[in-house]
Chain A
Amino acid sequence: MKYRLLCPLVLFSLTAGPALRAAAQDEHEIEITRAGGAKLIPISLDGYNGEVLLALKFDLEIQGFDVTGSDRAQYLVSGGNNSDVTGQLTDRVSKSTLLSVRYTGATPRSEAHTLSDAIVEKITGRKGIARTKIAFKVESGQKSEIYVTDYDGHNAVAVTQDQTITRDPAWAPGRRMLYYTSYKASNPDIYVHDLQSGTRHAFARYPGLNTGAAPSPDGRRVALVLSKGGSPDIYICDADTTNLKQLTKTKEAESSPCWSPDGRWLCYSSRELGRSALFLVSADGSSKRRLATDGAINCTEPDWSPDGKTIVFTANMGGFQICVVPALGGSATPLVAGEDPSWAPNSRTVIFTRNRVKGKGVVSLLDVPTKQTKDIQQISGSCSQPAWAK
């Protein structure tokens, strides 16, 4: 199966400001096969046990590999984890050794992640995701708190203990600052939390709704949803809260702003046309237009891939569907039942929520080209709104 990617022309046009519409008309798509296509890459793991084996298997299986026997594998990994984690990666056909490593000084789990990242990068050329971080909401009754964990749900740390509704986590670049919404002061307000020092301060405490914080890719600005003017609208401001600017002015509900990786565009959801749809607007408030998502309706929660090519979002068509659409609009491709998608730094893996409406949300990973999914290690409670640190 082939995977559709937009040609470089599209990337160029994303940086071309008001030329967006003109460029979109010239858009043509090329089809290329991703490394490995949508087929799983067979790989074998020999000599590992326990937590290290499980971690390696998890890491590889969610990044397009099929962990199988050495007789059927294209790549062989042999090594061990008796003290240090070691690994030797061999191409079974050419018999050449691609990698020979020994990791020391960290936890076995962390060393396993380091090894899987090295294997993924060596074989596919993509950076591995095994040492990335995520944040998500854990709900218990009518209260919820924010947690930060490894990308697979391990090493969970509770960021908040607000004993109220705390939700909508969003990372500033660099894994250190986390924005979220908390009802701590009896109103939905946005806070920014320094995970290194453990301190936080109120970021937006305007009258009415303060939510949906989305730091720009360079961290200098923040998009947010405020209702202080009398209706929920999209605003942006600087990271020091100054220069607040209103980007939309409708009487309908806007939600979920996200940024293009070059920081020039925002994508968000609006009911402006009578039902939820995705819109693009430039960061200076001009050139607003609807993003075509052919085949998908009731579209919310967009997230723009770090490579700029694809927007992932939730469609509601008698049930939530994770869909992708080219960043300039076009045919939407439904991938899997779920909601709240957030891209990994590799622009390939997506983290999302499944099963929430049935009462207990489960955070899950999706390898977009192969549609493989894996639930992360779960925390007691209903988990949702995952956000991937980039």
Chain B
Amino acid sequence: MNQTKLFNLFVIVLALTLGIVGCRPKPKGPTPIPGMTGTPRGTNDMFGVGPGPGPTLPADQNPRTNPNPIPEGGVPLTRFDPGAMNQDRDRFAANTVYFDFDRATIKPSETSKIDDVVRYLQANPTHAVQIEGHCDERGTEQYNLSLGERRALAVREYLVTAGIQPERVFTISYGETKPAVQGHNEAAWSKNRRGVFVLLTPK
């Protein structure tokens, strides 16, 4: 983990230095993730895998507190190839993130569970995660599919902000089709509004 952090810091410093002289380095990102089938894009940010133009961190900003700011329109997604990765639903079973009704914002009570996943992914650079977004049954069906995706993306943005490469974080929305708990009351609903981590390891 410490090595990864040091490496990230090194890349940031390198990117900033080269950015000053207007040169865009060919990035030396981490080992490519197996199963990553997204189109290659202009890779000139600190991790060599991010979208859009390179980072413009002010010199006085501590990169560790906000190393990878989320652009206004969101962080573009990569298509997940299920044939290339093993899925482990148990590893992060205790890290499920819960949401308030009709909301897709991460509650303070949930952040430590996501921080666990951040630390794991930093320590295991060839591993990735898929985040499933789920809803309770009280929204309409098409709306819930978008809300579930929004929830999964909120968790993804947290991971990316914490420095995890966007290409290692996939999302899928199930809307309300896969409730964790059956029932038509708040006890069930509160368990169904969730983001579930599925660990992906190379085959």
Q: Show the binding face of A for B, using Cβ within 8 Å.
A: 139, 142, 144, 165, 167-168, 181, 186-188, 205-209, 211-212, 225, 227-232, 249, 251-256, 269, 271, 275-276, 298, 300-301, 314, 316, 320, 339-340, 356-359, 384-385
Contact = CB atoms under 8 A, between A and B. Distances in A.
A384 B79 contact: no
B83 to A, nearest CB: 9
B143 A227 contact: no
Given A256-B143, A358-B184, 18 more contacts: A142-B177, A187-B80, A188-B172, A207-B77, A209-B146, A211-B145, A225-B145, A225-B146, A227-B171, A231-B73, A251-B72, A254-B146, A255-B142, A276-B143, A298-B102, A301-B142, A301-B143, A320-B140
B149 interface: yes
B91 interface: no
B51 to A, nearest CB: 8
Interface of B: 38, 70-80, 82, 102, 104, 137-143, 145-147, 149-150, 153, 171-174, 177-178, 184
Nearest to A253: B146
17 contacts: A142-B178, A168-B141, A207-B77, A209-B149, A211-B145, A225-B145, A227-B149, A229-B76, A230-B70, A230-B74, A231-B150, A300-B140, A300-B142, A314-B140, A316-B139, A340-B141, A357-B184
Contacts of A316: 138-140
Given A301-B142, A340-B141, A357-B184, A165 B74 contact: no
A-B CB proximity, top 8 nearest: A230-B74, A207-B77, A253-B146, A231-B74, A232-B146, A207-B79, A208-B77, A255-B146
B145 A206 contact: no
A260 B30 CA distance: 48
B145 A187 contact: no
B142 A211 contact: yes
Nearest to A228: B77
A22 B140 CA distance: 33
A300 to B, nearest CB: 4
Given A209-B146, A253-B143, A186 B177 contact: no
A161 B19 CA distance: 54
A255 B145 CA distance: 8
A301 B177 CA distance: 18
B172 to A, nearest CB: 6
A357 B142 contact: no
A253 B104 CA distance: 9
B142 A256 contact: yes
Contact of B141 (A167, A208, A209, A231): A167
Interface centre among B73, B142, B178 (most CB of A within 10 A): B142
Contacts of B76: 207, 228-230
Contacts of A275: 102
B147 A253 contact: yes
Contact of B173 (A209, A320, A356): A209
Nearest to B136: A357
B182 to A, nearest CB: 9
A357 B146 contact: no
A187 B174 contact: no
Contacts of A139: 177
Nearest to A270: B146
B192 to A, nearest CB: 12
A269 B153 CA distance: 19
Interface centre among B75, B77, B143, B178 (most CB of A within 10 A): B143
A208 B171 contact: yes
A146 to B, nearest CB: 14
Contacts of B177: 139, 142, 144, 165
A212 to B, nearest CB: 6
A211 B165 CA distance: 26
A256 B78 CA distance: 23
A269 B143 contact: yes
Contacts of B174: 165
Contacts of B143: 253, 255-256, 269, 276, 300-301
Contact of A186 (B74, B75, B80, B150): B80
Contacts of A225: 142, 145-146
A225 B174 CA distance: 15
A226 to B, nearest CB: 9
A205 to B, nearest CB: 7
Given A232-B150, A358-B184, A212 B142 contact: yes
A167 B139 CA distance: 16
Nearest to B160: A230
A180 to B, nearest CB: 12
B139 A187 contact: no
A208 B130 CA distance: 11
Contacts of A254: 146
Contacts of B102: 275, 298
Contacts of B149: 208-209, 227, 232, 253
Contacts of B71: 230
A167 B145 CA distance: 11
A227 B174 CA distance: 14
A358 to B, nearest CB: 7
Contacts of B137: 356-357
